[in-house]
Amino acid sequence: MQIERAREMGFCFGVRRAIKLLEQAAQKHGTIESLGAVVHNKQVVNRLAELGVKVINNTEQIKGNVVAVPSHGLGLPMLEKLKLDVPAVVDATCPFVRRAQVSARKLAHAGFQIVIFGDAEHSEVKAILNSCEGHGIVAAEANIAFSEPPKRLGVLSQTTQSTERFGWFVKELLDKVLSNVDELRIINTICDATKERQTAARELSSRSDIMLVVGDVNSSNTRRLAELCSGVGVETHLVESADQLDAVWFKNKKHVGVTAGASTPDDTIDLVIRKLQNLA
Ligand code: F3S
Domains in the chain, start-ordered, CATH in brackets? Answer: 2-10+193-279 (3.40.1010.20), 13-94 (3.40.50.11270), 97-186 (3.40.1010.20)
Q: Please tell me the residue having the least CA distance from ligand 1 atom 6.
A: 14
- Residue 40 is predicted with a pLDDT of 86
The whole-number mean pLDDT for each consecutive block of 10 residues of the chain, a chain of 280 residues, reads 96 96 96 94 94 96 96 96 97 97 98 97 96 97 92 97 95 95 97 96 97 94 95 97 96 96 95 93
- Residue 132 is predicted with a pLDDT of 98
- Residue 280 is predicted with a pLDDT of 78
First to last CA, the chain: 5
* Ligand 1 atom nearest residue 159's Cα: 4
SS (H, E, C) 110-125: CCCEEEEECCCCCHHH
- Residue 172 is predicted with a pLDDT of 97
- Residue 128 is predicted with a pLDDT of 98
14 contacts 95 by C-beta, under 8 angstroms = yes
Q: pTM value?
A: 0.92
- What's the sign of the alpha-carbon dihedral 270, 275, 277, 280? negative
* CB-defined site of ligand 1, < 6 Å: 12-15, 71, 94, 96-97, 159-160, 191, 193-194, 221, 262
Residue 218 Cα to ligand 1 midpoint, Å, equals 15
Cα distance between residue 247 and residue 251, in whole Å: 7
